[in-house]
Amino acid sequence: MKWMKNLKTYVPPSFVVERDDYRCIRCKACVEQCSFDATFYDEDEDRVWAWNANCVGCNRCAAICPTDAITVRRADPTYRYNHNWNGHVDSLKKRAIFGGTPVVSMGNDKPYPIYWDHMLLNASQVTNPSIDPLREPMELKTFLGRKPDSISVSDDGLKTKLAPQLELDIPIMFAAMSYGALSYNVIEALGRAAKEMGTYYNSGEGGLNKDHYKFKGNIIVQVASGRFGVHKDYLDVGSAIEIKIGQGAKPGIGGHLPGEKVSETISETRMMPKGSDALSPAPHHDVYSIEDLRQLIYALKEATEYKKPVAVKIACVHNVAAIASGIARAGADIIVLDGFKGGTGASPQVIRDNIGLPLEVSLAVVDERLRQEGIRQYVSIVASGGIRNSMDVVKAIALGADAVYIGTAALIAIGCTMCQQCHTGKCAWGISTQDPHLSKRVNPDIASKRLINLLEVWALEIKETMGAMGINSIESLRGNRLNLRGVGLNEKELEILGILPAGE
């Protein structure tokens, strides 16, 4: 017997795996593919069974089953209806039974408002012409970095010396997801796609495997509080350097890569012992003020001969606007705002689900504040945390972002079903795991092709909507809140977002 239910540890299963026994041919593909021990084959009975309690709803089994015999259903708890308590019973029990605070992954899944879905875009009719992106040129090219206050031009061209810029063919980059959290093959796919699409992949806080130095020119390297894998070569490979102060999924706390995921190659890349937990402290212990941050920014600029823009990434928190202003003044070239729906490879559930600020709101207030202070040109703004589709990108740019980062969306493109098990290291889709047997499940050829497809389709969709609005360059969309109207929002929300209500 592999497993038996025990009242002492019983929490009702979240999923039920249904198998149509007539269709099941006992090929056992599902058994092998389930990395959570939720499926097994009983030789004596010649049947495939499920331990529902172990099922995380990743749907790997349903996807692989050649006869479509499997349906994975959410198990509805059958407790007496209680609006106040339902949904809290099991999570309370887990704490009581297992005695620890649950660690989760991916982004906040609670039903907070989604402002993207309360904003509508404009389109041209009669009085101004719309543009057909398939006939007319459309410009998505974006430069990230400090812009000059003014420029002077001579016959030889531009006279003003520009600060270093990141050049993007499409205003979408791959967010910081470290090698360690993600498997080698996923990094390979992200790198290839970034290269092909003329954009960037952010290494995250785990350093960069030497094999991936080949993506030089399409990498942003991150420096986080743990300083894992940070050295001269690493900084040199980056086209920009990003200082990570905070992350939307876990504002105010550090990172934690469980020891199980610290494999041989991870330990090499991170420059730390194999098998030990990789803990990055909550704050950078050399950054306790904006002045300290300025020192770190300039230390990194110095180390890279002022050739690379330096970004600072923060989680969106209550006074995000003031913080952003400070960062801009501290000398950062790019500010990354990570909303409370941003993903993670591991975060305490309470933090993920209760801390932060919506990205939409943060973007609006930061853009507005920097404009008011007359320093908007000091920095580019990158929006990240919960960008789900191309229209979120358009709306983010209209709210004031220069570009966006996508994390979860990129992972979904290569298979992720958001079962939120990244922290276990057992990802059945081979994405967030260091188990060499599981990580094979991502074939970089297929995965990079899918990422490229996704970005190409999004680019086309963005162009289509720009065309509809009569805009032929993404520059003209940036901060163009006149093209947004709010629906179902109260006056205060509209004011903060800086948009008019629908009809006005």
Partner 1 sequence: MRIVKIREDNCIFCHLCEVACIVEHSQSKDIIKAFKREERPIARCTVEFNYPISLSIMCRHCDDAPCIEACQNGSMHRDERGYVVVNPQTCVGCWMCIMACPYGVIKRDTRREKWGLSTKCDLCPDRVIPACVEACPNEALTFEEL
Chain residues binding partner 1 by CB under 8 A are: 22-23, 25-29, 32-33, 64, 66-67, 430, 435-437, 440-441, 443, 445-446
Other C-beta atoms closer than 10 Å to the C-beta of 259 total: 14
Of 13, 58, 138, 442, the residue at the interface with ligand SF4 (CB under 6 A) is 58
State how far the Cα of 400 lies from the Cα of 170, in Å rounded to an integer. Answer: 16
Closest approach of ligand SF4 to the CB of residue 434, in Å: 19
**Contact flags string 1-30 toward ligand SF4, x per CB under 6 A:** --------------x-x-x----xxxxxxx
435 binds, among ligand SF4, partner 1, none (CB under 5 to 8 A by kind): partner 1
Pair 485, 501: CB distance under 8 Å: yes
Structure tokens at 220: 């942003």
Q: By C-beta, is 20 or 109 nearer to partner 1?
A: 20
Q: By C-beta, is 64 or 121 nearer to partner 1?
A: 64
Q: Does 431 help bind ligand SF4 (rule: CB under 6 A)? A: no
Q: Does 56 help bind ligand SF4 (rule: CB under 6 A)? A: yes
Structure tokens at 504: 């006005």
Pair 262, 320: CB distance under 8 Å: no
440 binds, among partner 1, ligand SF4, none (CB under 5 to 8 A by kind): partner 1
Q: Which residues, listed in sequence order, are joined to residue 202 by a DSSP beta bridge?
A: 220
DSSP code at position 425:
T
The DSSP-derived string for 111-168 is: ----GGGGEEE----SSS----TTTS--B--EEES---SS--EETTEE-SPPPP-EEE
Closest approach of ligand SF4 to the CB of residue 453, in Å: 22
State how far the Cα of 112 lies from the Cα of 175, in Å rounded to an integer. Answer: 23
Q: Which one, of 229, 232, 237, lies nearest residue 212 by Cα?
A: 237
Q: By C-beta, is 65 or 419 nearer to partner 1?
A: 65
Q: By C-beta, is 63 or 375 nearer to ligand SF4?
A: 63
58 binds, among partner 1, ligand SF4, none (CB under 5 to 8 A by kind): ligand SF4
436 binds, among partner 1, ligand SF4, none (CB under 5 to 8 A by kind): partner 1
Q: Which one, of 178, 265, 186, 187, lies nearest residue 226 by Cα?
A: 178
Part in contact with ligand SF4 (CB under 6 A); list of ranges 52-60, 105-113, 457-465, 476-484: 52-60
Pairing of strands 347-348, 103-104: antiparallel
Closest approach of partner 1 to the CB of residue 321, in Å: 47
Q: Does 65 help bind ligand SF4 (rule: CB under 6 A)? A: yes
Part in contact with ligand SF4 (CB under 6 A); list of ranges 69-77, 138-146, 159-167, 373-381: 69-77
142 binds, among partner 1, ligand SF4, none (CB under 5 to 8 A by kind): none
Q: Does 70 help bind ligand SF4 (rule: CB under 6 A)? A: yes
The DSSP-derived string for 320-355 is: HHHHHHHHHHTT-SEEEEE-TT---SSEEHHHHHHS
Tell the residue number behind the tokens 């063919």, with chain if given.
169
Helix (H, G, I), strand (E, B) or coil at 50: strand
Closest approach of ligand SF4 to the CB of residue 27, in Å: 4
Closest approach of partner 1 to the CB of residue 37, in Å: 16
State how far the Cα of 134 lies from the Cα of 463, in Å rounded to an integer. Answer: 9
Contacting positions for ligand SF4 (CB under 6 A) = 15, 17, 19, 24-30, 33-34, 36, 38-39, 48, 50, 55-61, 64-65, 67, 69-70, 72, 428
